[in-house]
Amino acid sequence: MIYGYQPKKSGAIGCRLLRILLLICVELVAAFTAEAQPFMCRQFSANDGLPSSYCFTSIQDRDGYLWVGTYGGVARFDGATFKNFTVNDGLVNNQALSFCQDKDQNLWIGTFNGISIWKQGRFRNITMAGKIPIERVFGMTQTRDGRIWATCEKGLLVFKNAETPPTLYQLDTENQPVTHLWGVCQTPSGQLLVSNTYKLFLFDKNRFSEIKYPNGQSVEARCLVRLGNQMLIGTYEQGVLDYKAGTVTPLYASILPLNCVYSISLLITASDCGWQPTRALFVLIKAKPPY
């Protein structure tokens, strides 16, 4: 067992949880040094059983397993060993970019070419939205009404459930195409925040409207996550932002070693441990004791 990580049994989430850890993946993990940051790191790579050392995303499922999306397939970690899944096992594509577990405990896996749904030990693959191929699925979320939303190269996909084909939305309030999407997350008010390579959008009434800084500059958002009633935005140059009612405000600027934030993971654990993918390795981060 590594640093006390133990997968939780199904249904154990709740009173046993000690805390939620917010971990931020920056462009260069090498910026964290023992002298500058009070963390101990254990790095995992292909030499430890991952299908690739290039890790892009992670999720902890409701059974407590840790899933890691890499550019060589998907790995499921039980606290001791990795079990890997690739196209040879039915995965639609080996470059896994995003995860989402729905209310029925199906695990959705967004990849470079298509979406795989892990259900009862098997993959079901979706590669088309009508006549449009589904590519580069960087973000997924389930909204309160049960629908699954996924960002992709051509726009924003929505699935009523795991069995029905998706609908694709592409236009903003001026009927201009919105493409190359990255993140998606539901706000406390029920609307959707969506990001692409260069902009941040509010998606409402089936249209995208851009959200900007007070000075009119576009927000180069990379990832979106909701923490309770707080919306966090990882950006390309401005670190982490807080979003409230159409306004963005910088957060954590004094503690980030770099301002390029590609991934924010909220992982619920039963110990003082958190897991975070990086662009080169998969890193376990644990705070050092204060003595």
Beta carbons of 59 and 99 less than 8 angstroms apart: yes
Residue 141: pLDDT band (50, 70, 90) is very high
- Torsion 248-250-256-258 (CA) sign: positive
Give the predicted TM-score (pTM) of the model: 0.78
Highest CATH level, class, for 19-287: mainly beta
* Strands, E assignment, 153-229: 155-159, 167-169, 181-186, 192-196, 200-204, 207-211, 221-227
Region of poorest pLDDT, from 45-54, 135-144, 240-249: 240-249
Q: What is the mean pLDDT of residues 103-132?
A: 96
Cα 200 to Cα 210: distance, rounded to the nearest angstrom? 6
To the nearest whole number, what is the mean pLDDT of the chain? Answer: 79
Locate all alpha helices (DSSP H) within the chain, ordered by sequence: none
Task: Estimate to the nearest angstrom the gap between the alpha carbon of 192 and the chain centroid.
Answer: 15
Region of poorest pLDDT, from 51-65, 108-122, 250-264: 250-264
Q: Is the pLDDT of residue 14 over 50?
A: no
Q: Is the pLDDT of residue 224 over 60?
A: yes
- What are the structural domain ranges in the chain? 19-287
Q: Which one is predicted more confidently, 281 or 241?
A: 241
Position 230 scores a pLDDT of 83
Cα 86 to Cα 278: distance, rounded to the nearest angstrom? 20
Q: What is the mean pLDDT of residues 263-281?
A: 50
